[in-house]
Chains A and B, each alone.
Chain A
Amino acid sequence: DAGVTQSPTHLIKTRGQQVTLRCSPKSGHDTVSWYQQALGQGPQFIFQYYEEEERQRGNFPDRFSGHQFPNYSSELNVNALLLGDSALYLCASSMGGDYGYTFGSGTRLTVV
């Protein structure tokens, strides 16, 4: 039973570029949440997708957008990258968002 898988594992981008990160949830999970974790900080909630719609959103600018597909997989898009967007981006899946969340191993994004 595959857990949550994220791709790519590492990424280096230049300021102003756009990036797309991908997440496949754990089998049986229908809800995907995205988090940004800067060094030395806890994960910060970006948004959550359920039934292909954004259900909840944290305090992140519109440069951060996402999508959920019919197979429950999800993408996180970040436009106009800033140096401050450098972080570990984590995807977590759950059943309906009410129970335990399982995390992927993350994508480490570096913006130069």
Chain B
Amino acid sequence: RKEVEQDPGPFNVPEGATVAFNCTYSNSASQSFFWYRQDCRKEPKLLMSVYSSGNEDGRFTAQLNRASQYISLLIRDSKLSDSATYLCAVNYNKLIFGAGTRLAVHP
């Protein structure tokens, strides 16, 4: 079993749609959690950290469920510029990534 698993996608959604990505992790000792965004042929960039209480940054909401070892990312009112690959990452003194979920937002 992979340490971090994500919905493979791709997700093709129209502008304005709400889309949710899910991620599960296997190591219960994981200490911190992140969502990264990666554009084609570029490096991953930190989108947001994920906290147990849930956190929101504009149109983006991240949730963590430690009991189920589950992380989610919700994007509301999708924009064309949101098209990218979204990587969840789990940190236990090393950052481990999922394979990424590709999002394509179309007009």
Chain A residues within 8 Å of B, Cβ to Cβ: 33, 35, 40-45, 48, 55-56, 58, 88, 90, 92, 94, 97-106, 108
Contacts and interface: CB of A to CB of B under 8 A. Distances in A.
A81 B97 CA distance: 24
A98 B34 contact: no
Contacts of B96: 45
Query: Chain B interface mostly helix, strand, loop or mixed?
Result: strand
A51 to B, nearest CB: 14
Contact of A98 (B32, B45, B46, B98): B32
Contacts of B31: 98
25 contacts: A35-B97, A41-B99, A42-B87, A42-B97, A43-B44, A43-B87, A48-B94, A55-B93, A56-B93, A56-B94, A90-B44, A92-B95, A97-B94, A98-B91, A100-B46, A100-B49, A101-B46, A101-B91, A102-B46, A103-B43, A103-B44, A104-B43, A105-B42, A106-B43, A108-B41
Given A41-B99, A42-B98, A97 B93 contact: yes
Nearest to B34: A100
Interface of B: 4, 6, 31-32, 34, 41-46, 49, 87, 91, 93-100
A56 B100 CA distance: 23
Given A40-B99, A90-B43, A97-B94, 15 more contacts: A41-B100, A42-B4, A42-B87, A42-B97, A43-B97, A45-B96, A48-B94, A56-B94, A58-B94, A88-B41, A98-B91, A102-B46, A103-B43, A105-B42, A106-B43
Contacts of A33: 94-95
B13 to A, nearest CB: 20
B95 A42 contact: no
- Candidate in A35, A40, A103 with the most chain B CB atoms within 10 angstroms: A103
